[in-house]
């Protein structure tokens, strides 16, 4: 079963009928890490929102099909979409503060997700502790009693990654998850995200402006420009020999094309 299959997706703005996404194909296979890169405004976040059935009301899908683990999401009602998001597809946003509830403890929020995933109540605390511990968060039991504003940005983002994988989804969409973080913790959060994806076998759609990160951790890359995928292929090939002018332009922004790999799991390597 393919975790995420988007074919021929076109999205336009209702007000002026401007096309924002055109004829986009994007597939994520089990265990695969797919990078989605492109300049600001090229349509990366819209693609992720559409894939999770969360397109803003100002926009409309005018063509294409989106299937999550084989289920077409078009036509699903709000409840079915919520269930899908709890169990099969998760989205992690750039800003962890807005994604976490300010009024409920981390433990309560983890508990909700594990409940939705069908984990019996008695097993939830231990399971939540393990998931947080997997994210290198020290003293998970104490952390679960705390609230989002009591955590650092890097800790919040790691909690969100733990939550995104808690229900064993088929695919996780990570939209600029390291951008808002301090440079010193970016590599660590990225390593944990990639490690978690490799270990879980879930597919990961990794949306990023960080081309170095995309090069070092993705199996495949899609390059977007003005709502279209202008190039796609194995990451090593796209980064070594970008074929389209848009991809060449984008990759020219990489400080050096032969940088040593960061301390990240190599694409395709065993966890």
Q: Which residues contact ligand ATP (rule: CB under 6 A)?
A: 13, 20, 38, 40-46, 56, 58-59
Shortest distance, position 118 Cβ to ligand ATP, whole Å: 33
Q: 68 has which bridge partners?
A: 4, 71
Q: Nearest 5°: CA angle at 89, between 83 and 92?
A: 115
Residues in Cβ contact with 84 at an 8 Å cutoff, skipping those fewer than 6 apart: 52, 53, 68, 71, 73, 76
Shortest distance, position 142 Cβ to ligand ATP, whole Å: 35
Instruction: Examine residue 216 and tell whether it contacts Mg ion (CB under 5 A).
Output: no
> With respect to Mg ion, which residue has the nearer C-beta, 109 or 178?
178
Considering only residues 10 to 49 of the shown chain, the ones binding Mg ion according to CB under 5 A are 45
Contact 26, 222 (CB under 8 A): yes
> With respect to ligand ATP, which residue has the nearer C-beta, 13 or 257?
13
> With respect to ligand ATP, which residue has the nearer C-beta, 4 or 135?
4
Shortest distance, position 190 Cβ to Mg ion, whole Å: 17
> With respect to ligand ATP, which residue has the nearer C-beta, 38 or 53?
38
Q: What are the tokens at 9?
A: 């997706």
**Residue 43 contact, options ligand ATP, Mg ion, none, Cβ 5-8 Å cut-off depending on partner type:** ligand ATP
> With respect to ligand ATP, which residue has the nearer C-beta, 6 or 131?
6
Q: Is 139 exposed, middle or buried (0-12, 13-18, 19+ CB in 10 A)?
A: exposed
Shortest distance, position 91 Cβ to Mg ion, whole Å: 12
Q: For 231-259, give one letter per residue: b (16+ CB within 10 A) or e.
A: bbbebeebbeebeeebbeebbeeeeeeee
- Using the 8-state DSSP alphabet, how is residue 82 labeled? H
Q: How far apart are CA 234 and CA 240, in angstroms?
A: 10
Shortest distance, position 13 Cβ to ligand ATP, whole Å: 5
**Residue 257 contact, options ligand ATP, Mg ion, none, Cβ 5-8 Å cut-off depending on partner type:** none
Instruction: Examine residue 52 and tell whether it contacts Mg ion (CB under 5 A).
Output: no
**Residue 20 contact, options ligand ATP, Mg ion, none, Cβ 5-8 Å cut-off depending on partner type:** ligand ATP
Q: For 169-197, give one letter per residue: b (16+ CB within 10 A) or e.
A: bbbbbbbbbbebbeeebbbbbbbbbbbbb
Shortest distance, position 64 Cβ to Mg ion, whole Å: 19
Instruction: Examine residue 178 and tell whether it contacts Mg ion (CB under 5 A).
Output: no
Residues that bind Mg ion (CB under 5 A): 45
């Amino acid at each position: 079963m393919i975790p995420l299959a988007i074919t021929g997706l076109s999205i336009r703005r209702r007000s002026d009928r401007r096309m924002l996404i055109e004829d986009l194909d994007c597939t994520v296979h089990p265990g695969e890490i797919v990078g989605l890169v492109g300049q600001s405004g090229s349509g990366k976040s819209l693609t992720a929102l559409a894939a999770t059935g969360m397109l803003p009301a100002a926009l409309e899908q005018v063509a294409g099909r989106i299937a999550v683990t084989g289920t077409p999401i078009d036509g699903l009602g709000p409840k079915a979409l919520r269930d899908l998001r709890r169990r099969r597809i998760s989205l992690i946003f750039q800003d962890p503060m807005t994604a976490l509830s300010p009024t409920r403890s981390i433990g309560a929020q983890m508990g909700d997700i594990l409940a939705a995933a069908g984990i019996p109540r008695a097993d939830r605390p231990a399971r939540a502790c393990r998931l947080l511990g997997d994210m290198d968060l020290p003293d998970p039991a104490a952390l679960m009693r705390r609230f989002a504003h009591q955590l650092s940005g890097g800790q919040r983002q790691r909690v969100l990654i733990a939550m995104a994988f808690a229900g064993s989804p088929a695919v996780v969409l990570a939209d600029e998850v390291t951008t808002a973080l301090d440079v010193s913790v970016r590599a660590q959060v990225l390593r944990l995200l990639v490690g978690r994806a490799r270990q879980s076998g879930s597919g990961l759609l990794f949306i990023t402006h960080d081309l170095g990160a995309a090069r070092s951790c993705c199996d495949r890359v899609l390059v977007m420009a003005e709502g279209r995928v202008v190039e796609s292929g194995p990451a090593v090939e796209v980064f070594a020999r970008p074929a389209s002018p848009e991809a060449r332009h984008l990759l020219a922004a990489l400080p050096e094309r032969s940088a040593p790999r960061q301390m990240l799991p190599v694409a395709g390597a065993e966890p």
